Amino acid sequence: MISLQTVLLITNIPTPYRIPLFNELSRQLRAQRFALKVVFGARGYDRRKWQFDMSECAFDYVVIHSKKIKCSDREKVSFTYAGLGSIIDNLRPSVIITNGFSLATVKLWLRSLRIKTNYIIWSGAVKQKGEAIPWWRIIQRICMIKRASAFIAYGTNARDYLLSSGADPNRIWISINTVDTEYFKEETVKLRKLRATVTRKKRLIYIGELSPRKNVVKVLDVVKALAISRDDFLLDIVGDGEERLRLEKYVIDNNLAKFVIFHGHKQKADMPALLACADCFLFQTDFDIWGLVLVEAMAAGLPCLSSVNAGATYDLIDDGVTGFAVDFAETEKIAKKINWIMDNPEEAHQIGETACKWACEKASLFEAARGFVSAISYVANR
Beta strands in the chain (DSSP E): 5-11, 34-40, 60-63, 68-70, 77-79, 95-99, 119-123, 150-153, 172-174, 202-207, 233-238, 260-264, 280-283, 304-307, 324-326
Beta carbons of 209 and 325 less than 8 angstroms apart: no
> Which residue, among 27, 87, 34, has the nearest Cα to 98 in the 3D structure?
87
Cα distances (Å, whole numbers) of residue 104 to 10, 25, 90, 233: 7, 21, 17, 47
CA dist 300 → 119, 293, 294, 297 (Å): 36, 11, 10, 5
| The pLDDT value given to residue 65 | 80
pLDDT of residue 73: 60
pLDDT of the residue at 52: 85
User: Which amino acid, 154?
Assistant: Y
Task: Say how far residue 20 (Cα) sits from the centre of its chain.
Answer: 13
- Distance, in Å, from the CA atom of 240 to the CA atom of 157, rounded to the nearest integer, reads 28
Secondary structure class of 314 (helix, strand, coil): helix
pLDDT at res. 375:
98
pLDDT means over runs of 10, the chain (382 residues):
86 95 98 97 80 93 84 72 95 97 96 96 89 85 97 97 96 98 97 73 97 97 98 97 97 98 96 97 97 98 98 97 98 98 97 98 97 98 88
Overall pTM > 0.85: yes
